[in-house]
């Protein structure tokens, strides 16, 4: 499974990237706001740091303007994936970008029907939002499983990018079902290292080690 980091915080990306944990990055308008940075400047910095796809999202709602925005974002670096919302205009823009050879991430996907349309429009990535479905008491994992089955039935090449991941469980369930990629905040990726028995075991080892009176260095 590929790991994308869902943030525009360049320090957090660098820390994970130095450990080889970053296969790509996703941003969105809310994450750009949180960073407090200029979209073109921060996206360029991320693209220079990471060799994989970096999603940058258009904010227009009509296809023609989305295409103009996407073309400008694509000029930032060759590893830009233009992110468009899953609307009819977004699908129109997706098709135009894909035909020009650009990577496209179709975002805000909440149904298998939407995912099927995105694949037919040539999306590189489809982003089903797990956490936001859970927020309204639906099972985001059912959506990942449905899309996996549909894409496999017809050999669609669009990659399933499990998004809106809020917990380690979301990440692991997505991997178990067979999502190609997950994008998660740095905190979730780091918390994948945690286990209560690891902490307990380490605590015991350190106590016993102290009793030996020895030192390694």
Q: Catalog residues that contact ligand E4P under the rule CB under 6 A.
A: 6, 26, 28, 107, 127, 129, 131-132, 163-164, 166, 183
- Considering the complex, state which of residue 14 and residue 166 has its C-beta at the smaller distance from ligand E4P: 166
Which residues neighbour 185 within 8 Å (Cβ) at sequence distance 6 or greater? 5, 6, 7, 165
Distance of closest approach, residue 205 Cβ to ligand E4P, in angstroms: 36
Distance of closest approach, residue 83 Cβ to ligand E4P, in angstroms: 7
Q: Which residue is nearest to ligand E4P (CB)?
A: 164
- Residue 83 annotated in active site: yes
The helix or strand, by DSSP H or E, that contains position 159, with its residue range, turns out to be strand 159-162
DSSP, residue by residue, 95-148:
HHHHHTT-EEEEEEE-SHHHHHHHHHTT-SEEEEBHHHHHHTT--HHHHHHHHH
- Considering the complex, state which of residue 17 and residue 26 has its C-beta at the smaller distance from ligand E4P: 26
Exactly one of 34, 72, 83, 120 is catalytic; name it. Answer: 83
User: Distance between CA atoms of 116 and 202, rounded to whole angstroms?
Assistant: 48
Q: Would you mind telling me the total number of residues written for the chain in this entry?
A: 217
- Considering the complex, state which of residue 8 and residue 63 has its C-beta at the smaller distance from ligand E4P: 8
SS3 23: coil
Q: Residues 161, 144: contact at Cβ < 8 Å?
A: no
- Considering the complex, state which of residue 106 and residue 117 has its C-beta at the smaller distance from ligand E4P: 106
- Backbone torsion region of residue 176, taken as left when φ is above 0, otherwise alpha when ψ lies between -120 and 50, otherwise beta: alpha
- Considering the complex, state which of residue 54 and residue 209 has its C-beta at the smaller distance from ligand E4P: 54
Our separate counts of H helices and E strands in the chain read 11, 8
Distance of closest approach, residue 183 Cβ to ligand E4P, in angstroms: 5
Distance of closest approach, residue 25 Cβ to ligand E4P, in angstroms: 10
Distance of closest approach, residue 165 Cβ to ligand E4P, in angstroms: 6
Residues with active-site annotation: 83
């Amino acid at each position: 499974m590929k790991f994308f980091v869902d943030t525009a915080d360049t320090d957090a990306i660098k820390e994970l990237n130095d450990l080889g944990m970053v296969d790509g990055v996703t941003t969105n308008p809310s994450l750009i706001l949180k960073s407090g940075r200029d979209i073109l400047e921060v996206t360029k910095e991320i693209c220079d740091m990471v060799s994989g796809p970096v999603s940058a999202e258009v904010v227009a709602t009509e296809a023609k303007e989305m295409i103009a925005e996407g073309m400008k974002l694509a000029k930032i670096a060759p590893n830009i994936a233009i992110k468009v919302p899953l609307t009819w205009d977004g699908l129109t823009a997706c098709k135009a970008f894909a035909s020009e050879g650009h990577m496209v991430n179709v975002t805000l996907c909440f149904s298998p029907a939407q995912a099927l349309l995105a694949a037919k429009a040539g999306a590189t990535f489809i982003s089903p939002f797990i956490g936001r479905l859970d927020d309204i008491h639906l099972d985001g994992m059912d959506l990942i499983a449905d899309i996996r089955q549909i894409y496999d039935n017809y050999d669609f090449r669009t990659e399933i990018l499990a998004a809106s991941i809020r917990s380690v469980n979301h990440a692991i369930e997505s991997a178990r079902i067979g999502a190609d990629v997950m994008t998660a905040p740095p905190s979730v990726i780091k918390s994948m290292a945690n286990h209560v028995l690891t902490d307990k075991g380490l605590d015991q080892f350190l106590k016993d080690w102290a009793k030996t009176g020895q030192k390694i260095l």
